[in-house]
Structures are given as C-alpha cells and as structure tokens.
Amino acid sequence: MRTTPKLSLLLAGMALSLSALAADADRWTVPVQSKKLSNGLTVLVSEDHSSPTVGVSVVYHVGMRLEPRGRTGFAHLFEHLMFQGTPKAPKGVFDQVITSGGGRNNGSTRADFTNYIETAPVSALDSILWLEADRMKTLDFNPATLKNQQDVVKEEIRVNVKNQPYGGFMWIDIGMLAFNKWENNHDGYGSFADLENANLDDVRAFHRDFYGPNNAVLSIAGDVTPAQGFALAEKYFGGIAKRPVPAGTDFKEGLNTAEKRLEQSDTLAQVPALAAAWKMPDRGSKDQAPMAVLGELLAGGDASRFYQGMVKGRELSLNMNSLYGLTSPWEYDGPTLFTVFTLYKPTTNADAVLAAMDEEIAKVVKDGVDEATLKRIKTSMLASWYNGLESFLSRADTLARLQTLWGDAKVVNQIPDWISAVSSADVQRTAKTYLTRENRSVIDRKPAPKPAPAPAPAAPASAADKKQ
C-alpha cells in the first residue's frame, strides 16, 4: 500500500444517507447496477446523490497468491509501478490530476486482489476514468522507475517489518507457519533478493496477463446515474482489448490436523506477544457467517470473551486484537486465517494464555451463546457493515471486491441476512469444527536482549593537535 490515509467514514452510527434508504426503514438495500462490456470489464454503479462526489475503485483479480514463484512481493511491487506513469500520462500526472481537484487516491495488495481507489468531486470523474483506462492499456516500462520502486518497497519493508516491534508477525509469519502450499504461505511483502531480481520482462508479463479489462471490475459510487456511469465506462474502457488470463492454480487446503508452534525472538519488543490462528471455513460455505459471528464473540473488542477473560479477568494479557488475513471475514478467495493477536504480561507464558483461550472456546462449544449476547453481537456487526458502506470510496471498493471474489456485487445486500440468521447452534458447531487445537498455529514472540550500542566514535583531533 502506498502512503495512505485510512478510509474515513463520513458519518458515525447508522446515520445512512436518506437517498440510499430503501422503502423498509429498518433495512438499507445498497443500490447496485451492473453491466459487462464486450471486452469483459464488469462495471458497477451505486447511485447516490447525497453528495456531489464519487468514489471509484478498479479491482484486478490478482494478488500475492498469484505472483510468480521466485518473485515474492511482486504483486505489491507492481501495485507501486501502476503509479509510475504511462507514455501519455508521465510519472506524477496521475496524482497531480486527482489531488489538485480535491481528491485522493491509493492502492493496496491483498492475497486475492489488488485495488486502486479514488474519491473526488463528481466533476473529476471523466479524468479519473481516463487515467485508470490509460494505465490499464500500458505502462511506462523503464529501468529507472522499476529500480526506484524496488527501493521504495524495500524501504517500506524496513519501516513496517524489519524495524518495527513484532514486525507484522501476526499476518506475515503466522501465514507462513499455518499454510502448506507456496501460494498461501510465502511472504507477500517479499524478500529483498526476489524484489531485486524482478526485471522489466516480469513487469510486462504481469501487466499483460492480469491487468486486462476481462480480469478487472470498475465500480463507481456516488453522484452518478447508472446510465451515465456505463456510458463513461464504455467511452474510456470500451476500446481496450481483452487479454488471455493464465489458468488459476489449485491453492485449496484442508484444515490442519496437528498444532503448529513456533517461538521467535524480537530485539525491538518490550513484552512478549502471541498470535494464534485457525484456518477458516471456505468462502461461501454454510460456516462462513457463523465463523464471523464467532470471531466477534471471542475477540471483537472490549466486550469479547477473550478480552474479558484474559485482559480484564485473569489479567494475563495487555490487549486483544483479531484479524482475518489482510481483509475481512467476507473477502477471500482461498484459504485464510482467523488470527488472535495479544501482548501478554511477562509474568505469565504462552501456554497459560492459550489455555485461557481454550477455556473460553470450550464454553462456547458446550453452551453456545445466550440470545441477548448473540443479538448484541449481530447488531454490532450489522452496524459496522453498513457504516463501512457509507462513504462513496469505501462503498465502491467493497462492491468491486465482492464482485471480484463472489462474482456478484449484490452479495453486499445478502451478508446482513447471513449474519442475522446465525444461531447459537451454528456458533457452537463452528467453534467445535474450526477452533480446535489441531487446526491451530501459534507463534510466541519474545523480547530478545538488545544489541550492545556501537562504541562512540573517537573525538576528532583538534586543529592545534593536527599542527603538532
């Protein structure tokens, strides 16, 4: 991801824009119209005239899982190269055009997709679509920009991983431990050697194979009608020829059958930390929504079972967080993890923390969850889901991601039903099936002694000394 302001929500709570409210006042049906161009580009429009702005997202169905072997980190490197200009719009033009009009843009790489997002006044929509179509056609492939972005990504790794306490071990290292296939278990941030070995032929091939219109989704949300959005998409993208996309590899994996444990040391850490991860149900399976509810029950904030049990109750941990790879419980195309990350007190140990987790999980397996708690959790999840769709930028991007992964952006209106339908028995079944010790991978990361400081340089000789 480039230097990024986080997606901010325009309004807090459930204050949805009136124009987007459906007839049923208790239910917001997100408007989505779709059309596929003759070159295979899927175009989505979510009409909403509550603000004279738009959010735009172009999602390509390629990410870390599909980057070439021996080129770890290449999908992320390529994301950066998409901002390095084209023969018609040289380096700097993309950012200048969008930000000078009050807009902003960014991109990010995940396991199964790479997204490019912009938000701006609606008057800039033509320019944004021209720029996105231009870099879908070709890039300015040259050694200088490749070298520059290799250095930028390497520096990003130094800042975010190598020189950072805990170094992202809860999503990089835990995935390398938990998964068995290379597509799923390599370091998507990349090794310096692989990044340096990437060449212009790799860049050209990656753009040719995965960045064609038939491997992409264009999504526009905001002050535009479907007819206007589809016409603009045809105007700027319709002339781009479709390109062959390489056949996908089989990266499916079953659940693990024996616990995996790893201990690491960290010279930058002040207290020990633990990441415990369990392989998730397949996307689209009957257990996906119950798993999302279960994750919220156990580790979704200060009211969760893990927080109340380990941070407040037993006072073993200092904090408690959870994550689903680098996305959400709804946005993955292959194996992914439900990971719990905690900083624990030096007075205890990893086994005690894991035993406390197991105890909370066992309660769910035995007793399920009472109706009042289940209702509270589902209400919280629905509020978060709708809040995340309020900004045009986030809405456009969510729709594009869902279309890419599920093949149907209207899943956006089904997910609330799936959450609402989860029962206590579903949560029990899911906990018993997936949150087992055998399916668990654990990294215990402990502070290591700090390296001795380098000796101070000798004081330079004074001018008088030099004359002697």
**161, 294, 434, 460 from 301: Cα distances, Å:** 25, 13, 21, 56
Q: For residue 467, is pLDDT > 50?
A: no
What pLDDT score was predicted for residue 2? 56
Token couple for 362: 């066992």
What pLDDT score was predicted for residue 3? 46
Token couple for 292: 């999302």
Average pLDDT over residues 317-331: 95
Beta strands in 361-404 (DSSP E): none
Task: Give the list of residues 6+ apart from residue 369 with CB closer than 8 angstroms, or none.
Answer: 297, 377, 424, 427
Token couple for 5: 């302001």
CA atoms within 13 A on the CB side of 371: 0
**Structure confidence by residue, pLDDT tens digits, 284-299:** 999 999 999 999 999 9
CA atoms within 13 A on the CB side of 346: 6
Check if the beta carbon of residue 44 is closer than 8 Å to that of residue 217: yes
Task: Quote the CA–CA distance of 188 and 172 in Å, as a whole number.
Answer: 8
Check if the beta carbon of residue 342 is closer than 8 Å to that of residue 353: yes
Check if the beta carbon of residue 401 is closer than 8 Å to that of residue 218: no
Task: Quote the CA–CA distance of 403 and 409 in Å, as a whole number.
Answer: 4
Check if the beta carbon of residue 147 is closer than 8 Å to that of residue 84: no
Strands 216-222 and 42-47: parallel
Instruction: Supply the DSSP string of 199-238, one letter for each residue.
Output: -HHHHHHHHHHHSSGGGEEEEEEES--HHHHHHHHHHHHT
Mean pLDDT for all residues in the chain: 91
- Of 4-8, 88-92, 123-127, 319-323, which gets the smallest average pLDDT? 4-8
What pLDDT score was predicted for residue 26? 66
What pLDDT score was predicted for residue 17? 41
Task: Quote the CA–CA distance of 380 and 369 in Å, as a whole number.
Answer: 15
Task: Quote the CA–CA distance of 230 and 116 in Å, as a whole number.
Answer: 19
What pLDDT score was predicted for residue 5? 36
Beta strands in 110-259 (DSSP E): 114-121, 216-222
Average pLDDT over residues 325-345: 96
Helix 350-367 crosses helix 288-299 at what angle (to 10 degrees)? 130
User: Which pLDDT band, with edges at 50, 70 and 90, does 8 fall under?
Assistant: very low
Q: Residue 266: enclosing H or E segment and its boundaries? A: strand 260-266
What pLDDT score was predicted for residue 21? 41
Q: For residue 466, is pLDDT > 60?
A: no
Question: For residue 165, what are the β-bridge partners?
Answer: none
Task: Quote the CA–CA distance of 349 and 276 in Å, as a whole number.
Answer: 14
Q: How far apart are the first and last CA of the chain?
A: 58
What pLDDT score was predicted for residue 146? 94
User: Which pLDDT band, with edges at 50, 70 and 90, does 1 fall under?
Assistant: low
Q: pTM score, two decimals?
A: 0.90
**Structure confidence by residue, pLDDT tens digits, 149-204:** 999 999 999 999 999 999 999 999 999 999 999 999 999 999 999 999 999 999 99
**50, 59, 121, 222 from 118: Cα distances, Å:** 18, 12, 10, 12
What pLDDT score was predicted for residue 11? 31
Amino acid at 89: A
Amino acid at 252: K
Residue with more model confidence, 113 or 466: 113
Question: For residue 120, what are the β-bridge partners?
Answer: 54
**Structure confidence by residue, pLDDT tens digits, 234-258:** 999 999 999 999 988 899 999 999 9
Average pLDDT over residues 126-147: 95
